[in-house]
Amino acid sequence: MTQKSRNGQGAGAVLGTATAATGLVAGIWFAYACSVMPALARSDDRVYVEVMRNINDVIQNPVFFTPFFGALLLTAVAARQHRAGPARGWTWAALALYAAVLVVTSAANVPLNDALAAAADPVRARAAFEGPWVAWNLVRAALTLAGFGCLLRALAVHARGRRNGHDAAYTGSRRGTTTPA
């Protein structure tokens, strides 16, 4: 196996792992949108606030943080590896979309979570929290899903390049030699 082939396989593995991590995060936001939040909407204010506080506490763990932050890191590495290949646009688009997910999460959802945790009156807390949090969760769900779609497309482009005999993570330089991307 040539160095070029091994590096292309590594680039494909990073891209695949970035795609899986992004898909896991998209699934989390989807689960909130279609089950968790509609179920909580049926609860009284005290129960609603208590359960959301509990969720916000327990979600801060390595099982969640690994794909949540790993998706960004792995997509950045994949974008770097594919920066001169045919999957370039798809990986960079995915990176931009996932970076937007982190901005939405840190600028909207986390401050809402923090305000909910500090609130004394469950009626007021829920009124200030529920609508905006659900809306921003839908935004990050859409962004993550779009990023996931871009990564799936990048995987397809990468695989097509490998099937056609050239590594999608490599391109020829101006002198006609092949260099790592």
Q: Which residue has the tokens 């099982």?
A: 63
- Residue 160: the pLDDT is 86
Let me know how long the chain is: 181
pLDDT score of 8 = 57
Q: Would you state the pLDDT for residue 166?
A: 55
How does pLDDT run along the chain (181 residues), one tens digit per residue? 444 444 456 888 999 999 999 999 999 999 999 999 999 999 999 999 999 999 999 999 999 999 999 999 999 999 999 998 899 999 999 999 999 999 999 999 999 999 999 999 999 999 999 999 999 999 999 999 999 999 999 999 998 877 766 554 444 333 343 444 4
Predicted pLDDT at 159: 87
| Residue 149 structure tokens | 């779609």
Q: Give alpha helix (H) positions in 32-82.
A: 37-41, 45-58, 62-81
pLDDT of the residue at 165:
62
Locate 46 and state its tokens.
Answer: 């005290």
Its pTM stands at 0.85
Give 139's DSSP letter.
H
Question: Which is it for the CA torsion 106, 112, 113, 118, positive or negative?
Answer: positive
On the CB side of 179, CA atoms within 13 Å amount to 9
| Tokens at 42, concatenated | 């049926």
